Amino acid sequence: MAITAAIIGATAAVAGTVASIDQSKKAARASQRQQQAQALRSQRQAVREQQIRRAQMKAQAQALGVAGGSSAVSGGLSSLSSQLGSSLGYASQQSGLSSQITMASQRASMFGDVAGLGMSVFQGVGGFQMLAEAGSEKSGSGSGSSG
């Protein structure tokens, strides 16, 4: 009866762990897709803002009568492009880091589940009490045969 209960318990632990790992993987993939979508939206927003600023600078230069080839206008436009590149690089870096964090969290959860499964099986077969009893039987039989 106890062996049957241990087998049922171990089976339930295995099934639960497998399901937990599967759900953790699904959650990690969904989180990664969400982060990628946020990064893409952020990049698009940065491009839009840069286009608006560029148009505003050109309009202001024309209103002030500054020629289109002015070094001040060209320098300002180059600065906008540089800032855009920096923003896009930062967004990509953050997205990559978020993916690494998500994957590490997923692995940690999986290993925790495996450890829980191992402990369930260990306890199901008697755990520490079984080891203590087995140890005392060995020490008892060893002292009896030497005397």
Determine the average pLDDT of the residues in 22-39.
Answer: 78
Question: CA 29 to CA 31: how far, in whole Å?
Answer: 5
Closest CA to 9 of 111, 131, 121: 121
Grouping H, G, I as helix, E, B as strand and the rest as coil, residue 65 is coil
Closest CA to 58 of 84, 83, 76: 76
Angle at 118 between CA 4 and CA 114, to 5 degrees: 125
**Residue 44 token pair:** 């698009």
Is pTM beyond 0.75? Reply is no
What pLDDT is recorded for position 48? 83
What pLDDT is recorded for position 31? 78
Over the stretch 75-130, which tens digit does the pLDDT of each residue have?
777 777 777 777 777 777 777 777 777 777 777 777 777 777 777 777 777 777 77
Which amino acid type is present at position 13? A
Cβ atoms within 10 Å, residue 39: 19
Place of tokens 């318990």: 9
**Residue 80 token pair:** 């906008």
Query: Does 2 score more than 70 pLDDT?
Result: no
